Amino acid sequence: MSHDIQTGNLAAGNWSIDASHSEIGFTVRHLMSKVRGTFADFSGEIITKSDDPTDASVNVAIKVPSIGTNNEQRDTHLKSTDFFDAERGQEITFVSTAITADGDDYTITGDLSINGVTKSVDLAAEFLGVAGDAFGAVRLGAEARTTISRADYKVDFNIPLDGDRLLIGDKVDITLTIEAVKS
């Protein structure tokens, strides 16, 4: 029996983030280039109260030890007390406080906690839709982006270079590409 994938509307319910079909990534300047990385271990939930995305809430928990930049030496340093102190089992968390519409896009405002520091951030978000998959599950897709200051979250290790330059930039671009399954 074949199952046609149908695009549907958002409906009330709990949606669990499917980490195997999602990605949480970041980019930060290093010398004259940019380093990209991801977190492999994360979970979260989107709770919808209606077909209106502004009635939803989002929470995400990221396991710091799962950080990866395709360089073992750098990843070990990022897990150290210079950056995240991953041995303490830290998590990076995000809990939404409001979602507002901006034309066809959305702003998700929420509390981002890193290294014991919590600050409100705005994520520019795009709702990618709802569809049934080949196995009968209903999935939603979304993408969100924000930029933060590392120093604001006590992730401020750096090495001074000549000419008042620093080895690592302060600005971190974060991108979340999310696919969630309705429970």
Q: With beta carbons less than 8 A apart as the criterion, state whether 171 and 35 touch.
A: no
| Locus of tokens 């671009």 | 173
Read off the pTM.
Answer: 0.89
pLDDT of residue 161: 64
Please write the tens of the pLDDT for every residue from 135-175. 989 999 999 999 999 889 887 766 666 666 656 778 899 99
- Residue 140, domain extent: 7-182
Please write the tens of the pLDDT for every residue from 57-106. 999 999 999 999 999 998 998 898 888 888 776 899 999 999 999 888 99
Domain total in the chain: 1
Residue 2 placed within a domain: no
CATH number of the domain where residue 120 is located: 2.40.128.110
Non-local (6+) Cβ contacts of 30 within 8 A are 167, 168, 169
Q: Tell me the three state secondary structure of residue 4.
A: coil
